[in-house]
Amino acid sequence: MIKVCTQTFGHKNPSSIDTYIKLGGYSAWKKIITEKTSKSEIINTVKESQLKGKGGAGFLTGLKWSFISPNDSQKYLVCNSDESEPGTCKDRDILRYNPHSVIEGMLIACYAIGASVGYNYLRGEFIGDQWNVTNNAIKEAYDQKLIGTNILESNISIDIIPLIGAGAYIVGEETAMLESIEGKRGMPRIKPPFPAVQGLYGKPTIINNTETLSSIPYIIKNGTDWYKNLGEGDSHGVKMFCMSGHLTKPNVIEAPLGTRFSKLLDECGGVLDNKKLKAVIPGGSSVPVVKGEVIMDTPMDYEPLMKIGTMLGSGGVIVMDESTCMVSVLERISRFYYAESCGQCTPCREGTGWLYKTLVKIRSGHGSQSDLDLLNRVANQIEGHCICALGDAAAMPVKSFLTNFWNEFEYFVEKKQSMII
Amino acid sequence: MNISLSDKIKKEIDSIKSKFPDDQNKSSIIESLLIIQHENNGYLTNELIESLADYLNVQKIDVYEVATFYSMFSLKPIGKNIISVCTNVSCMLRNSDQIVNYIEKKLKVKIGESTKDNKFYLKDEMECLAACNGAPMMQVNHINYENLTYEKIDKILDGIKDD
Ligand SMILES: Cc1cc2nc3c(=O)[nH]c(=O)nc-3n(C[C@H](O)[C@H](O)[C@H](O)COP(=O)(O)O)c2cc1C
Ligand code: SF4
Ligand code: FES
């Protein structure tokens, strides 16, 4: 079993700095600050490792870092620990069991992009457990002079600061997060300008996901070849897969990118109650659904999933068995995007409402054939016409559910009841 | 001015302010509201919102906007213990709707309401609470309880003291 972001998991006191250091933690950071490794060398290492952002978009991390404005103004790093894409539950494990990897990754990232401050923004609902662990871990690292002013007498000063949200899915979108840190409503900004040029308080800013930053110390320590070779087949690196839904043993599994879906399914003890697999949403509720038989042998990586019409997204793998009513699932997904739309763009604000209300109508037995066409039409009107990807996230499930399970939707509007009894 | 913010709260707000650049007081609004709300039995009043605006020297509207945008802020009194049952997709697949029904019956409330004795507030939670592998799950006062069964729910809720 490979362990990158999950290295401390299962150890005694996994979140303590002693455990982390015993396992080699902070050695990458200490090496960098004693040797004064050049920034470009670090960015190149991350680039060559092919590390892709784990927050959803899968953008190459090293490449993103290289976009940071080279001027010598104040710069910021933001760690996106808002984890709220439905079906995603990996960052919460990293935050509570391996918080120091995130801190070390943030320190290295700050150094590489020339930021003197790194904020770790946790979703409000993490205030019970993850928030306390994060605060403690940061304090431990300050006490050992790994963070702060003149770190280990190196003349390098970086602050790592925890922040907490207060409940809003949209804040996970990177520019909405910047707005939120600035103390405003979480409303996404129009891009460009991109945050790497004009981000927090108008200053160049890099935003990365928790899992992305947690991977950094291990890549710096063990090298690019090591990380790349962890992948299976043509794939590079690893990913945390959040296996949920109709499984015997739902679980968060860190596995090589390129691992076949069937293998992940096996590791979760197969479909619950030995039922037949019906459908899978492999990357959080925003990505298209696919039929079970289509994904079964697919390597779980960005490209192979694109080929079958879906995406890896955040790695939230939602598994549905044969007893699942797809109309009900889509209704629930649409409720979410309707509730969470920030309301700035008319197509998203109005469209998500239409989608949800139409699905409620269908599911209560009052729908007609024309409502199915309406769903497709509204989804098309939202897609590509909004400031942020929430609009697309609301549209893609609708289109894919209708395409893959048309007969089920048709049955519902004709018979006024679910095909699934 | 600021009569409703205690010295303790002011001290906490000062330490929140130190996380941000000197000229960025708005950044402190969210975390400050969370602690103010916590001290005020889980909800915010206009008076508190305005005191925070005064204390941070920001516009009142700035604080109102934040207080109304984020779902963890309540502008009306709610029951003491907040229950949020996740009913998003992974939890729905593991019968979270029945969990909600069970709690509604048990506490004699509808989702979105507080119990008559004000002991519980059953929040109408829209978000996935990032514990999908533990579905069905709920948070009670922001502590996670996972793989829920009716017996487990009884134990958790019955175990909460009145005080
Ligand atoms: C509606 C919406 C919600 C998002 N939620 C999250 C989230 O909860 N966590 C996250 O890391 N990224 C989220 N993202 C993606 C971020 O905008 C951003 O791409 C990501 O944090 C970049 O980090 P990465 O390159 O390391 O993946 C979301 C995007 C959108 C459009
Ligand atoms: S697409 Fe939706 S969530 Fe995104 S900015 Fe527009 S209205 Fe807000
Ligand atoms: S769907 Fe319920 S915790 Fe994610």
Cis ω before A192 (30° cut-off from 0): yes
Q: Is A389 in the pocket of ligand 1 (CB under 6 A)?
A: yes
Q: Which of A281, A285, A282, A280 is nearest to A302 (CA)?
A: A282
Q: Which of A237, A221, A216, A211 is nearest to A81 (CA)?
A: A211
What separation in angstroms does the CA of B51 have from each of B14, B35, B62, B67, B69? 14, 13, 12, 13, 19
Chain B nearest C-alpha distance from A222 (Å): 30
Helix (H) or strand (E) run with residue A158 in it? none
Nearest to B21 among A166, A201, A333 (CB): A201
CATH architecture of the domain covering A326-415: Up-down Bundle (1.20)
Asked if the Cβ–Cβ distance from A127 to B34 is below 8 Å, we say yes
What separation in angstroms does the CA of A356 have from each of A19, A283, A336, A362? 48, 21, 9, 10
Task: Convert A351-378 into a string of H (helix), E (strand) and C (coil).
Answer: HHHHHHHHHHHHHCCCCCHHHHHHHHHH
Predicted confidence (pLDDT) at residue B4 exceeds the cutoff of 90: no
Q: Could you tell me the mean pLDDT of each successive run of 10 residues in chain A, 421 residues long?
A: 94 98 98 97 98 97 95 93 98 98 98 98 97 98 98 96 98 98 98 96 98 98 97 96 98 98 98 98 98 98 98 98 98 98 97 98 97 97 96 97 98 96 76
The pLDDT of residue A405 is: 98
Whole-angstrom distance, CA of residue B146 vs CA of residue B124: 18
A238-321 is a CATH 3.10.20.600 domain: yes
Look up tokens 């690893």; give the residue: A238
Contact of A47 with A62, CB cutoff 8 Å:
yes
- Pick the ligand that lies closest to the CA of residue A188: 2
CA of A386 to the centre of ligand 2 (A): 6
Predicted confidence (pLDDT) at residue B64 exceeds the cutoff of 80: yes
Q: Which residues 252-281 of A are in CB contact (within 8 Å) with B?
A: 252, 281
Asked if the Cβ–Cβ distance from A340 to B28 is below 8 Å, we say no
Whole-angstrom distance, CA of residue A8 vs CA of residue B104: 40
Looking from the CA of residue A170, the nearest atom of ligand 2 is 3
Alpha carbons within 13 angstroms on the beta-carbon side of residue A110 total 27
Q: List residues bridging with B122 in a β-sheet.
A: B83
DSSP state for residue B132 in the 8-state scheme: G
**To test ligand 1's pocket by mutation, which of A66, A80, A312 has the most ligand atoms within 8 angstroms of CB?**
A80
CA of B148 to the centre of ligand 1 (A): 29
- Pick the ligand that lies closest to the CA of residue A318: 3
* Confidence band of B3 (pLDDT split at 50, 70, 90): low
Q: Which residues 19-78 of A are in CB contact (within 8 Å) with B?
A: none
* Within this chain, domains A238-321 and A326-415 share the same CATH topology: no
Q: Which of B143, B128, B34 is nearest to A340 (CA)?
A: B128
- Alpha carbon of residue A418 to chain centroid: 33
The per-residue DSSP string of A76-115 comes to: EEEEEE---STT--SHHHHHHH-HHHHHHHHHHHHHHHT-
In chain A, where are the structural domains located?
Answer: 17-228, 238-321, 326-415
CA of A191 to the centre of ligand 1 (A): 15
Q: What is the CATH number of domain A17-228?
A: 3.40.50.11540
CA of A250 to the centre of ligand 2 (A): 32
Ligand 3 site residues (CB inside 6 A) read A 86; B 86, 88-91, 128-132, 135, 137
Predicted confidence (pLDDT) at residue B1 exceeds the cutoff of 80: no
Which chain A residues are within 8 Å of B132, Cβ to Cβ?
A: 86-89, 242, 244-245, 250, 316, 318
Asked if the Cβ–Cβ distance from B93 to A87 is below 8 Å, we say no
Chain B nearest C-alpha distance from A315 (Å): 12
Looking from the CA of residue A176, the nearest atom of ligand 1 is 17
Cis ω before A70 (30° cut-off from 0): no
* Confidence band of B24 (pLDDT split at 50, 70, 90): very high
Average pLDDT for chain B: 96
Q: List residues bridging with A321 in a β-sheet.
A: A277
Contact of B150 with B100, CB cutoff 8 Å:
no
- Pick the ligand that lies closest to the CA of residue A349: 2
Predicted confidence (pLDDT) at residue B157 exceeds the cutoff of 70: yes
The pLDDT of residue B162 is: 78
Which chain A residues are within 8 Å of B127, Cβ to Cβ?
A: 84, 86, 125, 167, 169, 336, 340
Order of strands, sheet of A316-321, starting from the edge strand that comes earlier in the sequence = A251-256, A238-245, A316-321, A277-281, A290-291
CA of A36 to the centre of ligand 3 (A): 43
The pLDDT of residue A363 is: 97
Residue in chain B closest to A342 (alpha carbons) equals B69
What separation in angstroms does the CA of A399 have from each of A170, A367, A393, A394, B88? 22, 17, 11, 9, 19
